[in-house]
Amino acid sequence: MTDSLYPIKTLINEQPDQPMPDDKKKMNPAVENIQQLGTASAPSPGESNIYCMTIIGQVEGHMILPPQNKTTKYEHIIPQLVAAEQNPKIEGVLIVLNTVGGDVEAGLAIAEMIATISKPTVTLVLGGGHSIGVPIAVAGDKSFIAETATMTIHPIRLNGLVIGVPQTFEYLDKMQERVVRFVISHSNVTEQTFKQLMFKTGELTRDIGTTVIGMDAVKHGVIDAVGGLGDALRELNNMIEMRRASSVAPVGGGLTQ
Amino acid sequence: MTLHTMLPLELVLQGFDQEPEPTCEVWSGDVKLEIVPVAQGMGRIVRVLQCKLEDYLRPELTPGSIIYYAADNPNR
């Protein structure tokens, strides 16, 4: 086996100017493409300037949820948003939601991150954007909901260790107020309407609250418009165009004196 | 931890008292991952532990994805 290598090595040493067969690869790529494909350039899908992020299942926070849950981990979503903000090739972010809720801290952290990105963001609720999914759904610059998608607006439930003292309920009320404040400051819904939806009885079988479907979410002012993927992308592209236009420095007439 | 979910808590937390799946830390290229081993040199990503910022935009590194990793790298 090794014996067969020696003649090749000797040949290379003796004839250094001899062109190697590998030199064929150094052919002009355009010529090579014409020979191989019949066109000057190989077809490529092209790089998108929009980053699509999905928030599905349970929003997982500080505790790892049991494996039967499909989860979105906030420790992955947050650096993803930082990377999207930092990457100059990404000009807009599309957030697609189909979530049943999850950890309050994690959900609000994601919502705050989306709300504070300097690039255009559009959120699209498909299927469902329930509970802590509501602040995430309203966090974008423009929000859409599919006609059949639903959003359950309901109060935070007590879980874990509960001490039967007024302070426990005050704490819970504070947690809930954080969610309410975020939603009313990032959407067109009024505090009164949102709290009415949240504390409504007779709508849900095992809870108090309301399920709003598609157009109802828009009617109450929680979501901006009913629409699907095409509408969301069109809006995002428009926002990107506007941002590009506004970032171009105005051409002055002559030198500044 | 305060959960705000429409699903009944007994469904969400079912199996919470059970032993979690054993995980290990591996390197896949320049990315350090916590994985649940599923076969030799193959694991399901639990989380990304160390990587460059732009690596978070790689869809193959999303938690839950199956990844192939090399055996122990002596340089690490």
A37 within some domain: no
pLDDT the model gives residue A253: 57
- A22 DSSP 8-state letter: G
Q: Which residue of A has its CA nearest to B59?
A: A53
pLDDT the model gives residue A143: 97
A255 within some domain: no
B interface toward A at CB cutoff 8 Å?
1-9, 12-16, 18, 20-21, 47-48, 53-54, 56-57, 62-63
Q: Choose, out of A110, A131, A136, A151, the residue to mutate when testing the contact with B (most B CBs < 10 Å).
A: A131
Angstrom distance (rounded) from CA B13 to CA B4:
13
Query: Are the Cβ atoms of B53 and A82 closer than 8 angstroms?
Result: yes
**B71 against A29, higher pLDDT:** A29
Q: Are A83 and A104 in contact (CB under 8 A)?
A: no
A114 within some domain: yes
- pLDDT bin (cut points 50, 70, 90) of residue A167 is confident
Q: What share of chain A in percent tops pLDDT 90?
A: 61
Helix residue ranges per DSSP H, chain A: 5-14, 29-37, 74-86, 104-116, 133-138, 166-186, 191-198, 215-219, 229-247
Query: Are the Cβ atoms of A83 and B3 closer than 8 angstroms?
Result: no
Measured between CA atoms, how close is A130 to chain B, in angstroms? 6
Measured between CA atoms, how close is B11 to chain A, in angstroms? 9
- pLDDT bin (cut points 50, 70, 90) of residue A6 is very low
Digit-coded pLDDT (tens) for B21-58: 899 999 998 999 999 999 988 999 999 999 999 999 99
- Compute the average pLDDT of residues A70-85: 95
- Compute the average pLDDT of residues A169-185: 92
pLDDT the model gives residue A238: 97
Candidate from A13-17, A58-62, A189-193 with smallest mean pLDDT: A13-17
Predicted confidence (pLDDT) at residue A37 exceeds the cutoff of 90: no
A226 within some domain: yes
Angle (deg, nearest 10), helices A166-186 and A191-198: 130
Which token pair is A60?
């997982």
Digit-coded pLDDT (tens) for A196-207: 999 988 887 777
- pLDDT bin (cut points 50, 70, 90) of residue A55 is very high
The CA-based angle A30-A90-A46, given to 5 degrees, is 25
A192 within some domain: yes
Q: How far is CA B40 from CA A150, B63, B69, in A?
A: 43, 19, 9
A150 within some domain: yes
Which token pair is B2?
């305060």
Q: What is the DSSP secondary-structure string of B33-71?
A: EEEEEEETTEEEEEEEEE--GGGGG-GGGSTT-EEE--S
A13 within some domain: no
A154 is catalytic: yes
Closest by Cα among B4, B37, B1 to B16: B1
Laid out side by side, the sheet with B24-28 consists of B24-28, B31-39, B42-50, B66-68
Query: Are the Cβ atoms of A103 and B1 closer than 8 angstroms?
Result: yes
Predicted confidence (pLDDT) at residue A175 exceeds the cutoff of 80: yes
Which residues does chain B have within 8 Å of residue A98's beta carbon, measured at their own beta carbons? Answer: none
Task: Say what the ipTM of the complex is.
Answer: 0.88
Q: For all residues of chain A together, what is the average pLDDT?
A: 85
Which residues does chain A have within 8 Å of residue B48's beta carbon, measured at their own beta carbons? Answer: 76
Angstrom distance (rounded) from CA A68 to CA A54:
19
Query: Are the Cβ atoms of B4 and A157 closer than 8 angstroms?
Result: yes
Which token pair is A252?
């002055």
Angstrom distance (rounded) from CA B54 to CA B76:
21
Predicted confidence (pLDDT) at residue A16 exceeds the cutoff of 60: no
**Within an 8 Å CB–CB cutoff, is residue A16 touching chain B?**
no
Taking phi over 0 as left and psi of -120 to 50 as alpha, with beta for the rest, A209 belongs to left
Pairing type for strands A92-103 and A71-73 reads unpaired
pLDDT the model gives residue A91: 96
Q: For all residues of chain B together, what is the average pLDDT?
A: 87
pLDDT the model gives residue A139: 97
Q: What share of chain A in percent tops pLDDT 70?
A: 81
pLDDT the model gives residue A218: 97
The CA-based angle B56-B58-B60, given to 5 degrees, is 115
Predicted confidence (pLDDT) at residue B75 exceeds the cutoff of 60: no
Amino acid at residue number A137: A
- Compute the average pLDDT of residues A71-85: 95
**Within an 8 Å CB–CB cutoff, is residue A152 touching chain B?**
yes
| Structural domain harbouring A186 | 50-242
Catalytic residue among A130, A143, A154, A220: A154
**A105 against A40, higher pLDDT:** A105
Which residues does chain B have within 8 Å of residue A49's beta carbon, measured at their own beta carbons? Answer: none
Overall number of domains in chain A? 1
Digit-coded pLDDT (tens) for A118-147: 999 999 999 999 999 999 999 999 999 999
Which residues 6+ apart lie within 8 Å of B1 measured at CB? A61, A62, A63, A103, A105, A159, A160
Nearest to B12 among A69, A82, A83 (CB): A69
Query: Are the Cβ atoms of A101 and B3 closer than 8 angstroms?
Result: yes
- Compute the average pLDDT of residues B3-7: 90
- A157 DSSP 8-state letter: P
Predicted confidence (pLDDT) at residue A35 exceeds the cutoff of 60: yes
- Compute the average pLDDT of residues A242-255: 74
Angstrom distance (rounded) from CA B60 to CA A31:
34
A28 within some domain: no
**At A194, which CATH number?**
3.90.226.10
**Structural domain boundaries of chain B?**
20-68
Q: Which of residues 191-220 of A touch B (CB under 8 A)?
A: 206-207
